[in-house]
Amino acid sequence: MNARIARAFLAALASAALARSAAAQAPARAATPAPASTPAKKAEPSPEAVREGKALFAKFVDGLGGAAKVRKVHDVQTRGLVTAKTPDGDMAMEVQTAMIFPDRISQQLDAPFGRMAMVATPAGAFIVGPNAVQDLPPDMRDELLKQVRRVPLLLAQKADDPKLVAVAAGTEKIGDVETRVLDISYEGAAVRWFLDPTTYRILRSSHTSVGPQGEAKIVSEYSDYKMVDGLPVAFHLEVLTNGIKDQVLTLEECKINPGVEAKLFDKPVFPTPVPTPAQTPAPQ
């Protein structure tokens, strides 16, 4: 299970200023659209690459314990420490993540500037601060839900879904390991995995993410695998954005099927502030 299941959220909350500007920048982009361009037509994968990709994906699922085992996972909860680069330097924060498959995520950060949380569901996405809640625009909600659809454990559950496409993309050396490269797409979310050919665990993943500041290439390095309820979980993750390492996540705890409550994803309601009456100066 990939604990970095809301990369865009972490980027927003690592800087309070970025979090505040996220919703404001989306309308500005819509008001001044980029010039239209014709995207390059993507070449269709060969039948051999599709067959090899399907077989490689099946080995990945077997490495998790098999299809029957992964289908039993309903919800996941993790707790750890993330160190993120911000305009004010490196910032260490405790992060807690809860997911209910296939499309609900909640993350909470305890940072020097206070506790903040973010929730994304098909109904909407929002950030919660100490005294207020702020809606995020639909494009950010959609990007966050794509992050959930890239979670390896969730994708493993979709092995027999015709909407999941897995294509072998050759090999690439990472350290001393000649990894097997696998391109996966599912319901609009795409990701590239670099698999250890012995264990079929993910050593690296890469994808393109869209945020308030445009597109970014996200590369995640996985290590320190530990078994949790019979499932291999990477407890250490290093994230590079456009080639710059800007996050390191170390898990302290991971729970499989802890019984995450649905109400965790409900939007809180804060009381409307009451204006303070102006005081009349005392007579001299």
Taking the C-alpha atoms of residue 100 and residue 84, their distance in angstroms, rounded to an integer, is 25
What residue spans of 64-137 are helical by DSSP H? 67-70
**Residue positions counted in the chain:** 284
pLDDT for 30 equals 34
DSSP 268: P
Q: What angle do CA 85, 88, 93 make, to 5 degrees?
A: 55
pLDDT for 218 equals 95
pLDDT digit string (tens) for the chain, length 284 residues: 333 333 333 443 433 222 222 222 223 333 334 444 454 566 789 999 999 999 999 999 999 999 999 999 999 999 999 999 888 889 999 999 999 999 999 999 998 778 899 999 999 999 998 888 999 999 889 998 998 999 999 999 999 999 999 999 999 999 999 999 999 999 999 999 999 999 999 999 999 988 767 889 999 999 999 999 999 999 999 999 999 999 999 999 999 999 999 999 999 887 766 666 666 666 66
Q: Which of 52, 119, 73 is nearest to 259 (CA)?
A: 73
pLDDT for 220 equals 97
Query: Which run of H or E residues covers position 81?
Result: strand 75-86
pLDDT for 27 equals 32
pLDDT for 279 equals 67
Task: Give Cα 215 distance to the centre of its chain.
Answer: 15
Asked whether the whole model's pTM tops 0.75, one would answer: yes
Q: Residues 212, 10: contact at Cβ < 8 Å? A: no
Q: Residues 174, 231: contact at Cβ < 8 Å? A: no
Taking the C-alpha atoms of residue 226 and residue 102, their distance in angstroms, rounded to an integer, is 23
First to last CA, the chain: 71
Residue 121, both tokens: 């569901």
- Domains of the chain with bracketed CATH: 7-26+47-262 (2.50.20.10)
Task: Give Cα 82 distance to the centre of its chain.
Answer: 14
Q: Cβ of 79: how many Cβ atoms within 10 Å?
A: 16
Taking CA atoms, 82 is separated from 90, 133, 216, in Å, by 10, 23, 20
Residue 134's region, left for phi above 0, alpha for psi from -120 to 50, else beta, is beta
Q: Residues 153, 64: contact at Cβ < 8 Å? A: yes
Q: Which of 50, 100, 54 is nearest to 73 (CA)?
A: 100
pLDDT for 16 equals 29
Q: Residue 166 contacts by C-beta under 8 Å, 6 or more apart in sequence?
A: 50, 53, 54, 56, 57, 182, 183, 184
pLDDT for 129 equals 87
SS3 of residue 270 by DSSP = coil
Residue 224, both tokens: 């320190």
Q: Residue 27 contacts by C-beta under 8 Å, 6 or more apart in sequence?
A: 137
pLDDT for 277 equals 67
Q: Cβ of 80: how many Cβ atoms within 10 Å?
A: 19
